[in-house]
Amino acid sequence: MQDKLLSEFERIGIEAIKKGKTEELDKFLDGVVKNRDINLKRVIK
Amino acid sequence: MSTQINIENIGGITKPTKLTLKEGMNVIRAPNAVGKTSFIRAIQTMILPEDELKKRTEFLNDFATRGKVEMVMKNKTVYRTLRLGAEGLSVVGDALYKNGWKANLLSVAVPENDFLDNILKGKNLHDFFENFSETKNYKKLLEWCENRHYNLQRDLYRYTDDVTRLKNIRKQIEKYTKELENLGKERMKLKPIVENIKRGRVDKKLEEVSKKREKKNILYSRISELNYQIDIRKKDMPKLEKEIDRLDKEISEFHKTHPNVEKEIDKLWDKIIELRKVMDKAKDEVNEREVDISACEQGEGNRCRECGRPFTTEQRRKRQSDLRKQLTERRKELVSVESKIKETEIERDALIEERDRTLKYMSKELNEKSGTLTQYERDSKAWEKERNEKISEMNNVEKEITELEKALDPRTRGILQKAGEVESRVGETEGRLKGYNMEVEELSESQKIADQLQIKTEFLKSTIAYLTNRINELKDVVRKRFNERIKDVYEILGFKDFEKIEIDDMFQLTVRRKCGDRTRTQEINRLSTSERITIGVIVMLAGKEEYLPDFPFFVLDEVTTAYDPKRFEKIIDYLHHHVPYVVVTALAPTGEALHIEHKL
């Protein structure tokens, strides 16, 4: 599960860096806190 | 198919010049200082990305403020204009190729090429491969994670005291809850005996003793609770006083250093306004000189302002030279004023920030903390007063109990005393637990935040390790593919000098050479200059094959090809079959203009 989460973070992180929207990464971290198994696509709208 | 290149004011090419590149080999033949390098710079002007091109002020002719390159191809015409203004070099027009940075590094073999230069000097190629592998975004993401990890850990550290305190309290709660359980068992044992005594002797005094004991227990419980609250405040108040002291000192220090901060800020504003006026004046002067120079170049204003006679050639040259000197001086002035404005703005912003931090936020914090301290002092006084009253009340009740118990028989008195002691201890323990639970409630919010921070920092820690690994993986994939391409190019070229040319896992270019029966690995800087240049160009070709297979140009400078003409014949032959336009510069003993020889 951790590996899945890390590769999801990689995907979303690279997108966020390209767009210059690092606030999305903080949302992701909040999502990790909220529920480690959450569907992260729902967290990052 | 051909491509026409129109060049004006690029490097040494000042007059509008038209040159045509034809598919195949294009040899630019001319003596030194006629424009071979400028022609290559014109091609680079069309290739380089805008931010990179802006740094290349040497591309624009020294005496011009505007230069242009235009490429007329079969389907389209593209152009780029360079303009030197007060802000430096500006670029108009798009690059010919979207990946211009790579195109310039992998398709223009000139001595100024950083990639080639690093290969020739045997330097490490790690930074280039980092860019080739496009790990730039990964590095930015990693940097973000590292910064956030650091900040979260710092935040977490702030909650360490609270979390430790909470942990200790929880241990105490466990201890006293057990004690309360044991007391409850003892109480249950004593309860029927006490009830039997009460049933057997309906005695008013005994009933009174029980009531008094109950009252005493309630008082005892409240006293314990108050003691606990007073203790907490006693611990918190010195910390708060220390904080208030620190804030007070910092604010006083600020007032001492800046007795009239608003005036200071106003002065800096005034200075900036004054400097801006100077800057505007300098800008106007720069523009005026630019207009004068441009008019002078176009033949306007070449008459004496006083007598109206036209200037002689000598006078015109002198005037142009004077105007250029003046322009350089004004530009210097402008740059100096701009830097002064920046410095003053930084000074002003820093002072405003310090003022706000000290006078707004610190004062607010000081007021809040002072208010809290006053409230704590008030609470403590009230609690101490209440505790003293309750102690005195409890002492009176205890005296009354002793008096009443004197009238009872010793056995009954003993049992009742024991039951009373148990009740007292129950009251005390309940009081303690009540206090602890109150504190747990206060601290549990800190624990919640600390837990969240802990999850985030742990996740970021794994992310940092994961991304570091990914970056290395990506770079390694690129390195391996690059090595395969080097092998392919080398095989096609049919050179036999080396067994293998490869970029090792430390991103150092090495070669393996057969020496009799043995094979030796050598670093590049151990090879001869001609070998190094050949290998450098082979690595560039491998990179071009990998990243820019459709980029239509490859440029070779004569400085590069002159070292080993035999080997370069083969390289040029390779290029001939793989790249549509090959541009090679060559030194001609005579001639006054650039001359292109086309070879199919």
Q: Mean pLDDT, 10 residues at a time, over chain B (600 residues)?
A: 90 89 88 85 94 89 90 88 85 89 93 90 87 87 93 86 88 94 90 75 70 87 87 87 91 92 93 92 85 72 67 76 82 86 87 86 89 92 94 92 79 80 86 86 86 91 94 91 94 87 90 83 84 91 92 85 76 88 82 73
In-domain check, residue B9: yes
B120 and B218 together in one domain: no
CA dist B337 → B283, B288, B323, B345 (Å): 10, 18, 21, 12
Domains held by chain B: number? 3
In-domain check, residue B480: no
Contact B144 A33 (CB under 8 A): no
In-domain check, residue B282: yes
d(CA B427, CA B269): 69
In-domain check, residue B461: no
Residue B596, amino acid: I
Flag whether pLDDT at A41 surpasses 60: no
B contacts of A25 (beta carbons < 8 Å): 141, 144, 148
Q: What is the pLDDT of residue A45?
A: 45
Instruction: Give the distance from residue B58's alpha carbon to the nearest chain A alpha carbon, in angstroms.
Output: 32
**Is residue B462 within 8 angstroms of chain A, CB to CB?**
yes
Domain finish residue from B324, B341, B376: B376
Run of H or E residues at B8? strand B2-8
B421 burial (CB, 10 Å; 0-12 / 13-18 / 19+) is middle
Q: What is the pLDDT of residue B294?
A: 73
Supply angle C-alpha B447, B448, B452, rounded to 5. 115
Flag whether pLDDT at A5 surpasses 90: no
B418 and B524 together in one domain: no
Q: What is the pLDDT of residue B249?
A: 92
B194 and B170 together in one domain: yes
Burial B37-57 (b: 16+ CB within 10 A, else e): bbbbbbbbbbbbbeeebbebe
> What part of B 143-172 touches A (C-beta under 8 Å)?
144-145, 148
Q: What is the pLDDT of residue B301?
A: 61
Q: At a CB cut-off of 8 Å and minimum separation 6, what does B261 contact?
A: B254, B351, B355, B359
B540 and B425 together in one domain: no
pLDDT one-digit tens code per residue, A26-36 = 999 988 888 65
Domain finish residue from B376, B402, B430: B376
Q: What is the pLDDT of residue A35?
A: 65
Q: What is the pLDDT of residue B203?
A: 61
CB of B438 closer than 8 Å to CB of B232: no
Would you tell me the crossing angle of helices B261-297 and B313-355 to the nearest 10 degrees?
Answer: 160
Averaged pLDDT for residues A6-33:
89
Q: What is the pLDDT of residue B148?
A: 92
Q: What is the pLDDT of residue B306?
A: 66
Run of H or E residues at B301? none
d(CA B373, CA B367): 10
Q: What is the pLDDT of residue B165?
A: 87
In-domain check, residue B591: yes
Q: At a CB cut-off of 8 Å and minimum separation 6, what does B10 contact?
A: B38, B41, B42, B45, B59, B60, B61, B67, B68, B69, B82
- Cα dihedral B445, B446, B449, B451 sign: negative
ipTM rounded to 2 decimals: 0.84
A contacts of B462 (beta carbons < 8 Å): 2, 6
B576 and B551 together in one domain: yes
CB of B456 closer than 8 Å to CB of B152: yes
Contact A14 B452 (CB under 8 A): no
- Looking at the DSSP bridge assignments, the partners of residue B413 are none
Nearest CB to B459 within list A14, A26, A29 = A29
Q: What is the pLDDT of residue B414?
A: 81
B contacts of A16 (beta carbons < 8 Å): 141
In-domain check, residue B471: no
Picking from B136, B141, B472 by the largest number of A CB atoms within 10 A of its own CB, the best residue to mutate is B141
Flag whether pLDDT at A43 surpasses 60: no
DSSP 3-state assignment of B513?
A: strand
B106 and B60 together in one domain: yes
For residue A37, what pLDDT band results from cuts at 50, 70 and 90? very low
Q: What is the pLDDT of residue B200?
A: 63
Q: What is the pLDDT of residue A36?
A: 54
Q: What is the pLDDT of residue B460?
A: 94
In-domain check, residue B454: no
Task: List chain A domain ranges.
Answer: 2-43
d(CA B575, CA B212): 110
A contacts of B148 (beta carbons < 8 Å): 25-26, 29
Q: What is the pLDDT of residue B185?
A: 93
B226 and B269 together in one domain: no
**What's the domain range around B274?**
261-302+311-376
CA dist B237 → B138, B245, B278, B379, B444 (Å): 48, 12, 57, 11, 21
B222 and B114 together in one domain: no
In-domain check, residue B397: yes
DSSP state letter for A45: -
Instruction: Give the distance from residue A4's alpha carbon to the nearest chain B alpha carbon, in angstroms.
Output: 12
**Is residue B474 within 8 angstroms of chain A, CB to CB?**
no
DSSP state letter for B361: I
Q: Give the CATH number of the domain where residue B29 resides.
A: 3.40.50.300
**Is residue B230 within 8 angstroms of chain A, CB to CB?**
no
